[in-house]
Amino acid sequence: MLLSAANMSKTELIIVGKIVAPHGVRGDVRIVPLTEFPDRFHELKTVIVDDVGQLKLETAKQHNKFILLKLAGIDNMNDAERLRDKLIKIERKDLVKLPEGKYYIFDIIGLNVFNETGELLGVITEVLQPGSNDVYVVQQEGKQDLLIPAIKQVVKKIDISGKQMVVKLQEEMD
């Protein structure tokens, strides 16, 4: 199972929210969480705000579908207004630890996919989430994209650090 907690960038920062508006007069900001773990904001000590840098997170409160954040140094509505539409990011070390066998989508994209005999099938370029299980889109050189269901019968091994996945294709399963 995959979790789309966020998008990765080359600097190992993960997007977890977007500031959509100031909230009140004391500099709080209202954010839309872009994570499957909105409770993470209660545990974070710092966040990285686009074009601003790292800021200390003073408080985080749930407010309907939004999270209200109080960031150090943002002390009035004008300061908060300047943050409108900025993305909130965290470092990889601050990611929620996932249980065994679960992965973030951004860790799956870019994996080399091999069949059980070691033949390179291609590279995962996208993860579709149509319903009951995810589907990996594998770009093959000179061929049509291969769609691989993310189920145990097909995906035999995922090695994130080795950047590879081993699969047993459906026609090989018979």
Q: What is the pLDDT of residues 13-38, one digit of tens each?
A: 899 999 999 999 999 999 999 988 88
Amino acid symbol at 106 = F
Q: In what order do the strands lie in the sheet containing 120-128?
A: 146-149, 135-139, 120-128, 112-115, 164-167, 155-159
Does this model's pTM top 0.85?
no
What are the structure tokens assigned to 31, written together? 């954010």
Q: What is the pLDDT of residues 58-113, one digit of tens each?
A: 999 999 899 999 999 999 999 999 999 999 999 988 888 888 888 888 899 999 99
Nearest to residue 5, comparing CAs of 88, 122, 110, 121? 88
How far apart (Å, rounded) are the C-alpha atoms in residues 12 and 119? 30
